[in-house]
Structure 1
């Protein structure tokens, strides 16, 4: 290993299993000290079990690394603050925050309850806010720091039965963008990653049609460890010029996503009427419309290498 994170302290949420665990293991191998946070809930956010986080920490220590367990909920502001406090208390500083923790409560829109909406927003969007907010005073004081937030193509592009998750994940992009702009003068950067990886969460994706079954089979070839190198890079000083970006990782591919920008414009000197919009603007804009039924699987329908 190159030791790109030597003397760095990294906090990873949801690091007991899957993508988060692989991130923690690689960051440790690259020289970082880790706060391994995981409440240890079910995929829908129920229950608690510290053993996954403890296993990750034990594996890091067995390999000669440094790590501590944190079992707080990122949805609780005090719990989120304890993640950063554990980093500073045990290792003296905090250099990078990886907001990876998440749950799923997939429901078709007309069956989505307020409880399912709030639970997913709390963990994903509010969790990112809570942990990032807690780290911010330390980042500002030391004049450096890296926020790495996990978004999803479910938010960037769209998916069925995930209104809560999609809204949270696109909200994280907006949050990251604002953090990057507000914190740039303090030397702090903020970026997003949309991961493609087979994990406990993606294993819950329903597959009833041949196309959906094929998509799931493709996902099974995308191991969680493929996400970790980009995270380690973004946590390192080598990424000091990288901020306010949205990346994707799909097996051995790394993507850079565009942000929403105007793609067509039409001006009418005397102003618009509803009828003029229907008769003039709509025919001009229609060829540039995004497909109304497009979702992540349509954009990334080919087999990964």
Structure 2
């Protein structure tokens, strides 16, 4: 059965270029009314222009769809509130939010300024928080909502020269986990995607021969599933180059020691046993970590 978004209203941030643009266009092709948000800045977040968002709106209109442009920064609380209010007033509801906007300011941590660290966190993490907060009560009241965060392999596994980006991206996984619990009773599902695609964010990070094989198709397909009516809740899916995988944060069975054995030396001596992944656990919430510890007593 085809996944459709008829009569759904979607906000896509960072939708003037790259994956955001592809998300917006495909949502529109499948019936959604779309708010195309993009500051129109450079990859490092400097500058602004309304032309990028408007160009995507024009494409959607040519397809026979409905869309409006928003040029506010996701870090601008008043601007985001106005964007959400405009969409709500025009179409009566907000069903989908894809937090896709982001910037890069890559340097080794030794050379990175605190300003560059804070700015990347502000856009990726706080930008997602601000946009999510602006639609949260609307979705809860209408008893329906689908929110997608954007993490990355850097956030999940680390990468040289991207400590600011990694910190922001893994924070969004934790944000998703808690929000998914809070929103479940109101049919608000929150998920996360870790995309790998050829965009201006990756154009000088990955080699050209690899980028040529990394079109947006798998990423777009995965993202739209994660904001569909049948979407899961609190899932992190990686997508790129035709592949789709699921990422988990797990807990090993570890060890149990007596109070007399609870020394740094014991931890050092048994580190391999602590890290043994046989029978590792997938926990549904933070309280279960304490329950695992209590269960060993």
Q: Same fold (TM over 0.5)?
A: yes
Aligned-pair CA distance for 1:2: 4.2
**Other structure's SS at 2:20 match:** helix
Match of residue 136 from structure 2: 136
Match of residue 97 from structure 2: 97
Q: 1:287 to 1:256 in 2, by over 3 A?
A: closer
Match of residue 267 from structure 1: 256
Match of residue 236 from structure 2: 246
Aligned-pair CA distance for 1:228: 1.5
The 2-side partners of 1:284 and 1:56 are apart by 54
Aligned-pair CA distance for 1:76: 1.5
Show CA shifts across 1:82-112 (max 9, x none).
2322221221110000000000000101011
Match of residue 188 from structure 2: 188
Match of residue 299 from structure 1: none
Matched residue pairs, number?
276
The 2-side partners of 1:47 and 1:136 are apart by 29
The 2-side partners of 1:237 and 1:93 are apart by 15
The correspondence for 1:257, drawn from 243, 247, 250, is: 247
CA RMSD for the aligned pairs?
1.7
Aligned-pair CA distance for 1:251: 2.2
Structure 1 moving runs of 4+ over 6 Å: none
Query: Mapping of 1:188-267 within 5 angstroms?
Result: 188-205=188-205, 213=207, 217-239=209-231, 242-259=232-249, 261-267=250-256
Aligned-pair CA distance for 1:287: 6.6
The 1-side partners of 2:64 and 2:28 are apart by 9
Give the helix-richer structure, 1 or 2.
Answer: 1
Aligned-pair CA distance for 1:170: 0.2
Query: Mapping of 1:277-288 within 5 angstroms?
Result: 277-278=267-268, 280-285=269-274
Higher RCO structure, 1 or 2 (CA under 8 Å, sep 6+)? 1
- Give the conservation status (yes or no) of the 8 Å contact 2:237–2:244: yes
Match of residue 281 from structure 2: none
Q: Which moved more, 1:90-99 or 1:222-231?
A: 222-231
Q: Which moved more, 1:38-47 or 1:247-256?
A: 247-256
Q: Check if 1:153 corresponds to 2:153.
A: yes
- Give the TM-score taking structure 2 as reference length: 0.88
Q: Which moved more, 1:167-176 or 1:77-86?
A: 77-86
- Give the conservation status (yes or no) of the 8 Å contact 2:215–2:240: no
- Give the conservation status (yes or no) of the 8 Å contact 1:3–1:31: no
**Other structure's SS at 1:190 match:** strand
Match of residue 291 from structure 1: none
- Give the conservation status (yes or no) of the 8 Å contact 2:77–2:130: yes
- Give the TM-score taking structure 1 as reference length: 0.86
The 1-side partners of 2:212 and 2:271 are apart by 41
